[in-house]
Structure 1
Amino acid sequence: MPEQSLKEKTAKGLFWGAVNNGAQQLLVLVFGIILGRMLGPAEYGMVGMLTVFTLIGNSLQESGFRAALANVKHIRHEDYNAVFWCSLGIGVCAYLVLFFCAPLIARFYHEPALIPLARYCFLAIPIASLGTAQGAYLFRNLKVRQQALSGIIAHILSGCLGITLAYHGFSYWGIATQSLTYLIVVTICSWYFSPWRPTFRIDFRPLKPLFAFSSKLLITNIANQLNNNLLSVILGKYFNPQAVGNYNQANKWNATGHQFITGMMGSVAQPVLASISDDRERSLRVFRKILRFCAFLAFPAMFGLSIVTHELILLTVGEKWTGSIPLMQLLCIGGAFVPLNTLFSSLIISQGKSDIYMGNIIAQVVLQLLTVLVLIQLGGSIYAMVVVNVCLNIVWLFVWQGFARRFIGLKVKALLLDLLPFLLTALVACAAGWSASQGIGGPLPVTFLTKILIAAACYFLVMKLARAEILQECIDYLLKRK
């Protein structure tokens, strides 16, 4: 792939990734606000306690095949066909196992009402399996615009249905139906946008070379889901649905922020880095550029979200969610580092080192689990558990850097040079926004807007005075498209 072609494809992918994730997160935000006002923490907590099982089931049916197919140099119909039938088979089997395990899950949480809800929510697994191969085709071929349209359409339709059901008193069943509808629409759109179609000539032999790579991603993805949802499980076991609901509300807002950036990077990072993985020097140059762009967006966005949490929660979902405010403030600090860690993991996968990716994630999960269990034994609060989770996310960035140095020569000094200017500028800008709001005072909307406008203006001004290359390239690209 020529240099100019690679640059253009990366820029185009990032642009449509931004459109996709920006529009999707905005829709999540709007529908989340409406549902948050209609439903309470306990109702969100009921679905939240089942989320980890659904995500693990989806990881099983996907089995790391999407990334594995993206790394195949010469792809064939037989590769996609084998993945389609394998994913469908695993998805159906996973659903049947979880269907019969629903009473055990309900007993674990001491919530009998979870039995029918679990069996309904777990339908997401076989539904998602129908679109795994088509999604892999779109991902491999950088069809980011098509993925963007799929997600936007799915969010609109599922959000409207969820609100309608909640309005008519279906409580947490409305949330569950919203999630299922989203997957159904995404799957249908994936079939529409992908020209590839499965055939009934089933041959699983092409999976053998893929499985050596994808099996490690499968284990890693399951570990990732445990890592991301561990606190929901712990809170559901040792606290109550309301505690789970408050944590999930806080984490949902946090995820809305960092997933915009993570999704944008994820749509292009691995395919682009995989295409140049045999050129160490070029890989380092391209990776550092993407890293700076990621930091340029992540630090101001997530630190900014942290300082407006109080106003945001009260203005949107109301006082009944006050318990989520301190949790969200902490989570957003750690959320600034999530896109960076995800970018490093994409680099490792693009190098074909799924075993290292797997070991790294498992180590992080085990460490987090041990620390949380120790805190429970010591009578630690929910806030202490969140602090540990945030600190672990920040520290783990340097673990990833150690592996990046081995593969592309990224040194700690280079990492800090790429990140610190954006991190420090974001801290200063957010501090200025917060201080200005304290001086002006006034009602919640006034302090909310003051923080945002002052912080954004300060960040932009410092970047402009420092002649930040990333800022100028973004402006040039947007003007060019215009």
Structure 2
Amino acid sequence: MSKQHLSLKEKTAHGLLWGGLNNGFQQLLNLFFGIWLSRILNVEDYGIIGVLTIFTLIATTLQESGFTQAIANKEKPTHHDFNAIFWCSSSIGISLYIILFFAAPYIAQFFQIPELTSVARFLFIGFVLSSLGTAHNAYLFKYLMVKERAISMLTGLTISGIVGVTLAYNGFAYWGLAAQHITYILCTNSLFWYFSRWKPSWNFNLKPIKELLPFSSRILITKICIHINNHIFNILLGRLYSKTEVGYYSQSNKWNLMGSSIITEMIQGVAQPVLRNVVSDKDRQKRVLIKLFRFTAFTSFPALFGLAYIAPEFISIALTEKWLKSAYILQILCIGGAFIPLNHLLGNFIISRGKSSIYMWNTIALGLTQLTSALLLYPYGVHTMVSTSVGIQILWTVIWTLFAYKEIHFTLFNLFRETLPYLTAIVVSITLSHYCLVNFENIYLLFFSKIISVGFLYILILIIFRASILKESYNFAKTYFLKTAKNKTH
């Protein structure tokens, strides 16, 4: 049976399966190469690249311009739609590179880091490379070709990781991180071209952009705000503190975003297309949203709270003692990170309803609130700034729910019913594990004992209280694999 003939439920299962495998293996590769690079490089090396992260993310978002989500919301996109995206995105990418090439010395002057000029000009080449694959990525996303996107990203991560570690090991310092970034973009987008059934033509008709622009422009602004929210501290610390402080925060934030993105990307790869397919039936869309929300909470809370629990041991073992100061920051960030996938899911729901303006303004409000709190609290230290930002992130889950209620009556009761059981289960599991292992002194034994005990206790608690998600997940996987095996025999 071809993918085109799968039911919506089967497509969701297929997407979640490959999305989960993709993000799981992605983070394992990021973990492997991240540990190697962290051991080779020093805190200042990460600080230099860290202050440029926000520029690369915002510029990449500008060249993508929200076209991926916009085309996913279009019922039957044509060749001309994808072709217009290709030429528009490419033009923006090239223009941005030219602008930022000449702006690089001023960026270096702002942060008082002379090395940034040459590094920025090299790193910003990624804008041009990624712009050439925007339309192809949009094609794969629209048609739920999650497997093909997974292969592309995993291949890119592997090759780029090898390049980064090799250069860092041979003394190229922060240039290894920069080269890793460029290599990943080049490999991934090359494979997007290979897997996409669509290819560009020499037709410069940009009329479809006018149709997509009202929706895509709001997605664009929203994504920029999200990147600012995630990386604003790199800019503030780079300006107000030292490269060392940026390095510690950048390292902590990297692992936090890596943990939350496992869940976020897995859900995001299917949420908007699937929710869009049932947009005409509010009751069915609500049921789909609740199931996705339950699954997100079930996976997000143990992943991020678990990472917070093992942070000191993980940092000491994997990255060595020189990074230990980042462990406490990581613990704080992970608490807020557990709610990021939930917020993203609700945001994707709002997009599926065609309300990109709500998505945009709510994200802008979140960003402005976090930025204001950071500017007011920076004299009190990094930990105070980060803790307040995390509190705001958690509060915003409630605000997203209020918007969802206006659309399909997804209530605060639904929010608490689908999150509190898993939040309670993981907090109880970590508490019991902590008191059982309090006398363990061997750091390696403590590290693995924490992981095993929390995982066991979390599942045990859900079994005792007969959590429906366990049966749903089992039946979900069983049905999918049985049908896949049956299709192969035919």
1:434 aligns with 2:419: no
Residue matched to 2:73:
71
Identity, % of aligned pairs? 43
CA contact (8 A) 1:95 1:122 kept: yes
Residue matched to 2:364:
362
Q: What's the offset of the Cα at 1:215?
A: 0.7
Residue matched to 2:462:
463
Q: How does 1:66-465 map to 2 (within 5 A)?
A: 66-376=68-378, 379-439=379-439, 441-465=440-464
1:48 aligns with 2:47: no
Q: What's the offset of the Cα at 1:478?
A: 3.7
Q: Deviations over 1:142-195 (max 9, x none)?
A: 000111111111111000010000011000000000010000000000001001
CA contact (8 A) 2:377 2:385 kept: yes
Q: What's the offset of the Cα at 1:113?
A: 0.9
Distance 1:4 1:436 in 2: 48
SS of 1:308's equivalent? helix
Distance 1:414 1:216 in 2: 28
Closer, same or farther in 2 for the Cα pair 1:210/1:391, shift >3 Å? same
Moved over 4 A (4+): 1-4
Q: What's the offset of the Cα at 1:129?
A: 0.3
SS of 1:268's equivalent? helix
CA contact (8 A) 2:13 2:477 kept: no
Residue matched to 1:62:
64
Report how many residues are paired. Answer: 479
Q: What's the offset of the Cα at 1:407?
A: 0.8
Q: What's the offset of the Cα at 1:442?
A: 2.8
Q: Deviations over 1:14-45 (max 9, x none)?
A: 01000000000100000000000000111011
Q: Deviations over 1:353-383 (max 9, x none)?
A: 111111011111111111111113xx21000
CA contact (8 A) 2:267 2:296 kept: yes
Distance 1:390 1:368 in 2: 9
Which stretch of the first structure deviates more once superposed, 441-450 or 259-268?
441-450
Closer, same or farther in 2 for the Cα pair 1:3/1:402, shift >3 Å? farther
CA contact (8 A) 2:373 2:389 kept: no
Distance 1:340 1:435 in 2: 30
1:115 partner letter: T
CA contact (8 A) 1:13 1:267 kept: yes
1:398 partner letter: V
Normalised TM-score (structure 2): 0.96
Q: What's the offset of the Cα at 1:4?
A: 8.0
Q: Deviations over 1:302-339 (max 9, x none)?
A: 11111100100000010110110110010111110010
CA contact (8 A) 2:132 2:189 kept: yes
CA RMSD after TM alignment: 1.4
SS of 2:438's equivalent? helix
CA contact (8 A) 1:63 1:217 kept: yes
Q: Deviations over 1:101-160 (max 9, x none)?
A: 111111110111100011111111111001000000000000001111111111110000
Q: What's the offset of the Cα at 1:477?
A: 3.7
Q: What's the offset of the Cα at 1:479?
A: 4.3
Q: Deviations over 1:456-476 (max 9, x none)?
A: 111111111222221122223
Contiguous gaps of at least 5 residues in structure 2? 483-490
Distance 1:429 1:39 in 2: 36
CA contact (8 A) 1:436 1:454 kept: no
